[in-house]
Amino acid sequence: MILVVVCTTGASLVYAPELLKATNSDLFASTTAEPVGFAAAFDAVRAADPGFATTYASEKDGVYVLFSDDPTSNEAYYVDAGTGAINGHGDIYGGVIGFLVNVHDCGLTCEAYPGYLPWLEEASPLAGFGATADMTWGGMVLAGTGLLLLVLAISGIALWWPGIGKWRHGFRVRLGRGRFARDYDLHNVIGIVAAPALLIWALTGMNFEIPAVADLWYSATGGTAVADDAYDMEPSGKAGPDITLAAAAAAATAVFPGSVITAVTLPADTDGHYGFTLLDRGPDGSKADLWAHSPTYHGNRSVGVDAHDATDVKVMSGTPSSVSNEVIDQWAQPMLHYGVSVNPWWRSLWFLFGLTPLLLMITGVSTWLFRRGTTRRKNQARAARAAAQSQA
């Protein structure tokens, strides 16, 4: 049941980007003028609400989104990138979609989303092991469902295989042979058709919760593990006022010529650094925007710039060093798991395959109940015959 809940909520979230924009159209309103820049967006929000603490902003589809620094809140201001005017503010994840995100992505451990359960954020019995370091109870549930899905998909393929000479029988559905034959065949056909997608979701889902999954992938495919300090940056030690956001942005984009800044993190303190997310389409512009349909985010590179020295730049996430890294570091989350790389029409496949665990449960329970009823009737008939014989 937990596996079905996790998978079905994931299927429901396939169209979350479109639903969020449709239900918050006033916040996502934008013009087509040249963007005013992140600095102007920060200034506009500070002027409108001096008490709103924000150091992180993203830009997507002509709208700047400035998020609250409070980790327990999804409150954000939305600014028209073309005019610099504030569209409004609010928590777009405060309703049903936010609850579904908390179930599917967090195992109800994300405090900023509806349905948060504090006890699920406590350390689980697996937290002390290297392969599952710091795993919470919620993370253990999600990792367990991923492992269960993997086992069910592999064992289902093995049980489905009808043999070389009868492989066509594995795709037939006997509609005129009664409920048992129909549901048994539907169970097999649905399972084998969806098996590749279920395997991918099992592995990518486990990767979110179990660090060892990525390590095994790198070892098996020749990739390079991400360094533990990849997103940390030592301060330069230089004194003086912070460099401007514009100067830091120029230093970041110089690392990837032609790239566009899609998100900014301001220095957290006097020894901090600017953080930039960039969308780098490559020298010939052929690289896809893998987060194209996310409502507030896109990008594929991350760069840090020291707050006091524009020459002190660190590439935190750059061009993948191998196909192995390209798959797990770039494609696994947005494309293979979420499907936000493709348009809503193609994403219907993610939606339909995401419902297959629910369909497999229904057809599986149906065939089990039929067999149970058949066994019960046989036992009753056997008992009746035995009673009749004893009376005779």
Q: Which residues of 320-349 are buried (b: 16+ CB within 10 A; e: fewer)?
A: beeebbebbbbbbbbbbbbbbbbeeeebee
Please state the φ and ψ torsions of residue 274, each to the nearest 5 degrees. -80, 140
* DSSP for residue 295: S
Q: What single letter denotes the amino acid at residue 243? A: I
Please give the Cα distance from 8 to 355 (Å, whole number): 6
Range of the domain at 80: 25-90
Looking at 320, 343, 376, the residue that finishes a domain is 320
Q: Is the domain of 326 the same as that of 218?
A: yes
Does 12 reside within a domain?
Answer: no
Does 146 reside within a domain?
Answer: yes
Please give the Cα distance from 156 to 363 (Å, whole number): 14
pLDDT, tens digit, for every residue of 227-253? 989 999 988 878 777 899 999 999 999
Q: Is the domain of 127 the same as that of 213?
A: yes
CA-based radius of gyration for the chain: 26
pLDDT, tens digit, for every residue of 326-379? 999 999 999 999 999 999 999 999 999 999 999 999 999 999 999 998 888 888
Domain count, the chain: 3
Please give the Cα distance from 118 to 355 (Å, whole number): 29
pLDDT, tens digit, for every residue of 142-190? 999 999 999 999 999 999 888 777 778 788 888 888 889 899 999 999 9
Does 102 reside within a domain?
Answer: no
Q: What is the percentage of the chain residues whose pLDDT exceeds 90?
A: 79
Looking at 291, 320, 349, the residue that finishes a domain is 320
Q: Is the domain of 126 the same as that of 220?
A: yes
Q: Is the domain of 311 the same as that of 242?
A: yes
Strand-strand pairing, 86-90 and 260-265: unpaired
Q: What is the mean pLDDT of the chain?
A: 93
Give yes or no for residue 392 having a pLDDT over 70: no
Q: Is the domain of 331 the same as that of 355?
A: yes
Half-sphere exposure of 197 (CA within 13 A, CB side): 23
Predicted local confidence at residue 151, as pLDDT: 95
Q: What is the percentage of the chain residues whose pLDDT exceeds 70?
A: 99
Looking at 320, 345, 373, the residue that finishes a domain is 320
- Reported pTM: 0.90
The encoded tokens of residue 308 equal 């006091």
Please give the Cα distance from 32 to 80 (Å, whole number): 9
